[in-house]
Structure 1
Amino acid sequence: MMNALERRSTFALSSIFALRMLGLFMIIPVFSIAGQSYQGATPALIGLAVGVYGLTQAILQIPFSLLADRFSRKPLIILGLLLFALGGAVAAMSETIYGVIIGRAIAGGGAVSAVVMALLADVTREEQRSKAMAVMGMSIGVSFMVAFSLGPWLTSLVGISGLFWVTTIMGLAAISMLLFVPKVTRHHKNYQQGYVAQLKQVLKMGDLNRLHVSIFALHLLLTAMFVYMPSQLIQFAGIPLSSHGLVYLPLLIISLFFAFPSIILAEKYRKMRGIFLTAIAGIVLGLLVLIFGYESKYVLLAGLGLFFIAFNVMEALLPSWLSKSAPIQSKATAMGINSSSQFLGAFFGGMIGGQLLLLNNTSMGWGILAGIAVLWLLISFSLAQPRYLSSLVLALPETKQTDEWTSQLLAIRGIEEVVVMSDQQFAYVKIDKQLIDEAARQDLTQLLGKEVAI
């Protein structure tokens, strides 16, 4: 089970992620309708306003994450959240669609999703990492669904500009959650790399690239769907925009009942690849249902429900899988590329959704999205099962300098990383059991002065 520190840190960092995502995504289910009130608004510019934050996120995730592999992660997170809050304020004060686009772009400049995930990986043991990442992933999925539920309701109360002010408040509130996360110092092997070499190393890893394609496709489809869907809920299901939250929230709750068991199966029985491919197939199936049955209220809701279930499973699995597959010394960099892919997908999803609104053929629109999902499924078939590490929790030595002690630990075969929490006076030692041999066990016993069960 998670210890108290892991639970507190997981809650705090998941809350930061959730608050950011709530602020970013509450406008998606309402802006294709409410955005028409801005001066200069066109369907294409409305789509750009929805998705442009993804473009600036995609551009800045990698620079932020490269820095986060070398420097303290917390100050970078604070900077990103301040940019996020500023962008919300700019959009809230705008009267034209162009002002909203600028504000959304600034908000996207707070590109710290990867830094938050990397910090969570630092403060959790390997055996508990999947749980923590699953909670993070679920917080993302839940924040999406809650955003789609709250957005229409809040817009009816405070208007679209008020909704942007809410995002600013959420960004500032998220900063306070860092108080619950401990200060950490990371030590690992093979860290002497230049920025370019580090980036090239990560980009050459085939399975990581497939995970990047997966997050790109997932968020492209999600964003496009919620630009394309609201008008159909109004036209074919007879549900007014202010009541769309009453559609999304029950579907969210239902999807969670499927998502949690799926994560348990994937982690406990190491069936991550099978569950992963099944979830993509579920997204394909949901879109196929929408192609042929969008004119029926209940078939439309069924297709949307299938999509939500599969989406939440994917949101929980992807961060966990990425944390297992990424090189330890380049963890934030790999997560930065993944987050860039995520937000680039959201950018293109917003743009594609805006263009789908111009089509006179609704089935063709859903067919285009289904085709993207099928291509994603084909690319993902070559994914291999991820690598599994383990963790030891060791008290810091009283008779040695911490840096000397960590260097001696890292010299032992099979020990991959040591994360020191000086305030708590202990460290997480991350090991690869397949590399630990008898000589390594003896070296570890000699260093610690006692035998450790591995």
Structure 2
Amino acid sequence: MAKNGLSGIEKKVAFSLASVFGLRMMGLFMIMPVFALYGQHLEGFSPLWVGIAIGAYGLTQACLQIPMGMLSDKYGRKPIILGGLVIFAIGSIVAAMSDHIYGVVLGRALQGMGAIAAAVLALAADLTRDEQRTKVMAIIGMCIGFSFALSLLAGPIVAQYAGLEGLFFLTAILAVLGMVIVQVLVPNPVSQAPKGDTVATPTKLKRMLMDPQLFRLDAGIFILHLVLTAVFVALPLDLVDAGLVKEKHWMLYFPAFVGAFFLMVPLIIIGVKRNNTKTMFQISLLIMMLSLAAMGIYADNLWVLSGAVVLFFTGFNYLEASLPSLIAKFCPMGDKGSAMGVYSTSQFLGAFCGGMLGGGAYQLVGASGVFYVALALMFVWLLLTIGMEKPVLLKSYTLEAEAKDRNHAQDMATQLSQLTGVAEAIVVIEEKAAYLKVDDQFDLREARAVLGSVS
């Protein structure tokens, strides 16, 4: 087994689970750039119902994200993941066979009920070593970003040739492909990673919500996905009004997303080199606000709208990539699963509210009104970042610790905290785990030696 990098099994786990996650997210995302344009034949079609249909998955995701993670603890990761993909496929078929918008909303809600994110991440943790877990999670995160970019390309092309019905059937096929990958490629875990690292603990959720730094991040991801969903209710219709026929929308979205990725890179590099994440975070918010203002003011100018889309995705990509790592840095040791549970719930709830708000605002005040409302919400988020603390650049480790009782656990924690590079250390008896936050001077071998000597 590789000592300094991912082992063969860990690479297989990372890319297979990333593929499952990506295929499912593509199924959710592909509808966003096309539904307002290709769903106009549906009975009951209106801008409000367009927004509800696009965001419906978010409500059921938000409600079931944490419970499904807990069920995976009880019944196993794979059965919950497979069951979630089955439900997702059924929802896709319901939406594909509907000739009225209410059936599509039902299908989208069923898609969201297949809430497998927590179970997939927990399975990734179960199958990887502590020191390599962050890399695996990063690969999965990158795949989610790639799937979103690909959906902006694939959605309009599939809808053009196969219609909305064909697009939903394709999402069902993607879900079945995900099931095959889980069964054939993903190994079966022989143990579970500590719950504190992976799955939300209900008793800790209130504490996560009351933490001022985590609250800022949870509110941020809520607003970010609210704005994203609201914008994609109005933007496709606005682009058509500005002269870009719906069959060519992919020619704008995909290059804009790719270009935005390269524009985002300097923000990341500067933030890391100067240890100034907060400033880059606020600059990204300002970039998104500028793009929304341009969309609202120049709603009939295709060139300005195209540039605004590039700016929008530049800010969005940076924030989407930064928020999970900030959650990990600010959350208390041993509570990452609970912190990420609240974060994911906020994200999906934001998508649902964005669909409702975007559809309602478009129906009342048009596309420009949607962009101005989104701009106001981004300004609220910018105000929230004023009290945001500068994150400390520490790594997190979770190690096996067989503590016999409370005194034994305290002895372990004391010895670990005295090691060079250890900023914090706790040992949780119930989880048989030691949680560490460390800097670059930390030597993992010393920590393992301590845990071995006091076992």
The normalised TM-score by structure 1 is: 0.83
Q: Give the SS at the match of 2:285.
A: helix
The AA in structure 2 aligned to 1:153 is I
**Aligned match of 2:421:** none
Aligned-residue offset at 1:140: 2.5
CA distance in 2, matches of 1:340, 1:77: 18
CA separation of 1:135 and 1:190: change in aligned 2, threshold 3 A: closer
Determine the C-alpha separation between the residues in 2 that align with 1:130 and 1:266: 19
Partner of 1:3: 6
Equivalent residue, structure 1, for 2:395 = 389
Alpha-carbon offset, residue 360 of structure 1: 4.8
Q: Which amino acid aligns with 2:372?
A: G
Return closer, same or farther for 1:230/1:122 CA change in 2, 3 Å cut-off.
Answer: same
Alignment match of 2:43 (pick from 5, 30, 39): 39
Matched letter for residue 445 of structure 1: A
Which residue pairs with 1:56 in the alignment? 60
Are the equivalent residues in 2 in contact too, given 1:10–1:136 (CA < 8 A)?
yes
Q: In the superposition, relative to structure 1, how do residues 332 and 443 fare at CA in structure 2: closer, same or farther (>3 Å)?
A: closer
Match of residue 149, structure 2, among 145, 158, 162: 145
Q: Tell me by how many angstroms 1:262 deviates.
A: 3.9
1:18-51 deviations in Å (ceiling 9; x for gaps): 1111101111111112212112222222221111
Deviations 1:254-302 (CA, angstroms, capped at 9, x unpaired): 1221334544554566443333222222211211222222222111111
Partner of 1:217: 223
Match status 1:82 vs 2:86: yes
Cα drift, residue 127 of structure 1 = 6.4
Q: Which has the higher contact order (CA 8 A, sep 6+)?
A: 1
- How far residue 306 of structure 1 moved from its aligned partner, in angstroms, is 0.3
Counterpart residue type for residue 234 of structure 2: Y
The 1:101/1:441 distance shift into structure 2, 3 A limit, reads closer
Partner of 2:26: 22
- Separation in 2, partners of 1:52, 1:297: 30
The amino acid of 1:12's aligned partner reads S
Q: Which moved more, 1:35-44 or 1:338-347?
A: 35-44
Question: TM (normalized to structure 2)?
Answer: 0.82
1: CA distance, partners of 2:264 / 2:128: 22
Q: Distance in 2 between matches of 1:406 and 1:220?
A: 46
Q: Is the 8 A contact 1:82 1:172 kept in 2?
A: yes
93-102 or 325-334, which deviates more: 325-334
Q: Which one is further off, 163-172 or 441-450? A: 441-450
Relative distance call for 1:217 and 1:350 in structure 2 (3 A) is same
**Paired position in structure 1 for 2:209:** 203
Counterpart of 2:140? 136
- Deviation at 1:428? 10
1:171 maps to amino acid: A
Cα displacement string for residues 359-418 of structure 1 (whole angstroms, at most 9, x for unaligned residues): 455433321110111111111232224452344899xxxxxxx96799988962145579
Q: Give the distance between the partners of 2:301 and 2:447, measured in 1 at CA.
A: 68
User: Which deviates more from structure 2 when the two are superposed, residues 310-319 or residues 177-186?
Assistant: 177-186
Aligned residues: 431
Q: Is the 8 A contact 1:216 1:343 kept in 2?
A: yes
Corresponding residue of 1:172 = 176
1:378-417 correspondence runs (5 A)? 378-386=383-391, 388-391=394-397, 412-413=412-413, 414=416, 416=426
Task: Quote the residue 1:399 is aligned against.
Answer: none
Q: Aligned residue for 2:161?
A: 157
Residue aligning to 1:422: none
> Which residue, 329, 343, 367 being the options, matches 2:372?
367
Give distance in 2, aligned partners of 1:176 and 1:186: 22
Residues 55 and 108, structure 1, Cα contact 8 Å, conserved in 2? yes
Distance 1:21 1:168 in 2: 12
Corresponding residue number in structure 2 for 1:423 = none
- Tell me which residue corresponds to 1:280: 285
Please say if residues 66 and 332 of structure 1, whose CA atoms lie closer than 8 Å, have aligned partners that are also in contact: no
Amino acid across the alignment from 1:145: A
C-alpha change, 1:132 and 1:196, in structure 2 (3 Å) is closer
The answer for unaligned runs of 5 or more in structure 2 is 417-424
Q: Kindly report which structure 2 residues correspond to 1:173-192, keeping only aligned pairs within 5 A, or say none.
A: 173-178=177-182, 179-180=185-186, 183=189, 185-186=191-192, 188=194
Quote the sequence identity (%). 37
Give the C-alpha shift of residue 70 in structure 1.
6.3
Question: Does the alignment pair 1:332 with 2:324?
Answer: no
Q: Structure 1 unaligned runs (5+)?
A: 395-401, 419-426
**Distance change in 2, residues 1:123/1:384 (3 Å):** farther
SS at match of 1:27: coil
Q: Which moved more, 1:292-301 or 1:9-18?
A: 9-18
Deviating more after overlay: 384-393 vs 292-301: 384-393
Instruction: Give the superposition deviation at 1:131.
Output: 4.8
